[in-house]
Amino acid sequence: MNLIFPLLFLFVFAMMLFYSKKRVIDKAVFSSKFKKISYFILAFIYLFVILYFIDRYFAFLPKEIFYLASLASGIGFLIFVFTLFFELYLLYVRIFKPSIKQKNIIEFLLFTFMIFYISFGVINGQIDPKITNHIIKTDKPLEKDINIIFFSDLHIGGLVDQKYVKNIVNLINSQNPDIVLIGGDLIDTKIEHITKELELLKEISSIYGTYFIVGNHEYFHDLQHIISSSESLGLKTLLNETIKIADLDIQLSGLYDYMGKRSAINAPDLKALDIDKNLFSILISHQPKVINDEDFIAEEFDLILSGHTHCGQICPFGLLVLIDQPYRCGEYHLGKNLNLIISAGAGFWGPKMRIGSSYEIHKITISPNKMY
């Protein structure tokens, strides 16, 4: 399973670049010299994408080269998207037959926009995570407001290094949380490659503990080792189980990720959760499609926390997210007493790029409608 995804990704990515070569470079009004340069650019993009995947497993590239390798996947994807729009231009050419001068002007504008779009994504990808605030009102019996910090999809490894993790930890601690919840995809490489980064997680400060569920990426990097190591990092795993925090009158439930459904090992099981309907109930599921699970009972929960989608990370990739998930990101009211929050992610997968989304950590205040 570890090799299937990168090999499939590399095959699809090669087809995307080849399509861009045939439909843009070969069709555009370029000089032969510029076309040759463009061919080399596409070849280098693909080479860097290959290096990126190799480094995810063997961590041999200098940080600067790895950064460029990660950007290559985002740039290649946007070139493919640009190619789809370029097809509309080619249709226009076939119908209206513009002059060479008109073609030059239109193509110049199109390529300028593509370069601007890619540049914006790279620049926006360097912005630090922000705090997103949520207030959840409830009729359940609570004696006080509860301050929860939730984050997902940090993807420690590669460019999510010690400096990045330290910044996340400091941001969390600055909010003085009662509880910290981690919604999966915390780790995205072998543990031995990120021991210093993981040590920083011990500095997370909360009154009632830090709780952790696994995401799909943990399954790629020795799931059992990650789970067994979590306690030493100060993380309490919630995997198909429910715990009650009596001092706060709430219960927390966590699931394995739906990646486990493929092998029926370490799969999510909503039936295994012991839910007390009299308590404010929080379900942490890495993928928001838990709400479509045949065993999901909406009345058992007051708040669902998910991640996985990255809010598409690079627009318009979010449209593909909706093929597999019910929502992209944000807060949704699914019923009178049920809320869903989907995080865009505290980190990133692949390129350090963001278009149409931002890195975020969620501060959730659960507030009773009346004091008991």
What is the tens place of the pLDDT at every residue in 158-210? 899 999 999 999 999 999 999 999 999 999 988 998 999 999 999 999 999 99
Residues 299 and 350 reside in one and the same domain:
yes
Residues 260 and 222 reside in one and the same domain:
yes
- Determine the pLDDT at residue 365: 98
Give the mean pLDDT of 273-289. Answer: 97
What's the structural domain count of the chain?
A: 2
pLDDT > 80? residue 57: no
For the chain, the farthest-separated pair of C-alpha atoms sits apart, in whole angstroms, at 77
Question: From CA 217, how far away is CA 189, in angstroms rounded?
Answer: 9
Q: What is the pLDDT of residues 308-363, one digit of tens each?
A: 999 999 999 999 999 999 999 999 999 888 999 999 999 999 999 999 999 999 99
Find all residues with CB under 8 Å of 290, minimum gap 6, and list them. Answer: 255, 258, 268, 270, 283, 296, 304, 306
Residues 137 and 115 reside in one and the same domain:
no
**Token pair listed for 191:** 């543990």
| Residue span of the structural domain in which 52 resides | 4-124
Residues 119 and 134 reside in one and the same domain:
no
- Determine the pLDDT at residue 371: 62
- Determine the pLDDT at residue 150: 98
Residues 107 and 203 reside in one and the same domain:
no
Residues 118 and 141 reside in one and the same domain:
no
Residues 39 and 140 reside in one and the same domain:
no
Please count the other Cβ atoms lying within 10 Å of the Cβ belonging to residue 198. 21
- Determine the pLDDT at residue 264: 72
Average pLDDT, the chain: 94
What pTM value is reported for the model?
0.93
**CATH at residue 167:** 3.60.21.10
Q: 96, 124, 152: which is the final residue of a domain?
A: 124
- Determine the pLDDT at residue 236: 97
Residues 166 and 108 reside in one and the same domain:
no
Share of the chain above pLDDT 90, in %: 87
Give the mean pLDDT of 2-7. Answer: 79
